[in-house]
Amino acid sequence: MMSSIQPSQIFSIKTTYSPSSINESSFAQIGQNWCMSQGKHWPSELTGNVVTKNLKLLHYPHWVVSGNGAALWDGSVGRNYNEVELCSRCSGRGSIVIGSSRSTCSKCNGSGKVNVTKTLWRREQGTVLAKVQGRVIENFSSAVKCGDRVLSANEYVTDSNALSIVPPSGSTPSHAIEVAKNTVMGDLKRNAEKIARGMGDQARDVNVLNANLTELDTRVWLYPIYEGYYSHEGENLPVQIDGISGVIWAKLPTVVKDGRLREARRNWFVTLLVIGAVISYFSLSSSRNVTAQNWMIAGGVTLAVSWFITWCIVLPTMRAIQKNK
């Protein structure tokens, strides 16, 4: 893969930022709405004010990439076609003999023939272009939990020294140009695959060759996120509010998670017991010789199965889901 870059265009990284458009006086209300949506296990002493009172404005640097690319591509283009073949299950006889009985082959419905889709591959090549303009690269998908960034927000150039910036903020020019290069190359490759697919039904082994990348540019865009902690029963729980969309995320206290688990456990157990009892009742009452012992066995099995499903399947699943929140 060859590519040429004009070094003069790449060695300054401009920084822009979006100021927060959320009024800090609305945090308590945003927090309160969130608390109210947490259901009955939420501790009443945790108000919106308590949850959001220690938030600090941070800026998360995102890349904003522009650039053009032109390249050659080659690859395999596949055209699908149908062919009639002898059925492999009945060897074209249309029926299968087992012992003394003969039955119609279910694969070919007795015709002895099946339609097979095949692909004819041929090499193709051509040219491909890509144009990237102001694309925001999501840098912090795992650290930012309060929803997707609002990528249409206004940008302002500023003195970034005055802002609290979350690493990696010391983005080096060489890293910045790698990001731009990879973005435009990725588009060239995607576009080439699209062209190749359009020439047939499918494509594979598509390569981009002799790429010429021009006007590459990467800026750093500082995105406002309010971050902080709230405390409950010795736990420090992180909170984030998106400075533009106002979407809040906060970690749940253990007492809330435990309350939800207990409730779910009880609901599942009771539901399964009721289902088991109904099944037992109908299956036993339809048979003729039902003894007290039968009823006890059915009851025991229902209890054991309900217990097993609740504790060994439902609870571990719920804990795993909670862990990711």
Residues that bind Zn ion (CB under 5 A): 87, 89-90, 105, 107-108
Residue 114 C-beta: closest distance to Zn ion, Å: 7
Residue 83 C-beta: closest distance to Zn ion, Å: 16
The residue (of 98 and 162) whose beta carbon lies closer to Zn ion is 98
Q: Please tell me the number of Cα atoms within 13 Å of 57 on its side-chain side.
A: 17
Question: Could you tell me if 139 and 123 are in contact, meaning their C-beta atoms sit under 8 angstroms apart?
Answer: no
The residue (of 94 and 259) whose beta carbon lies closer to Zn ion is 94
The residue (of 35 and 105) whose beta carbon lies closer to Zn ion is 105
Nearest to 163 by CA among 238, 14, 65, 60: 60
CA distance 79 to 15: 48
Residue 119 C-beta: closest distance to Zn ion, Å: 23
Nearest to 261 by CA among 323, 320, 318, 324: 318
DSSP one-letter code for 237? E
The residue (of 89 and 319) whose beta carbon lies closer to Zn ion is 89
Residue 80 C-beta: closest distance to Zn ion, Å: 23
Residue type, 190: R
Nearest to 184 by CA among 262, 129, 126, 240: 129
The residue (of 92 and 299) whose beta carbon lies closer to Zn ion is 92
Residue 82 C-beta: closest distance to Zn ion, Å: 17
CA distance 254 to 248: 19
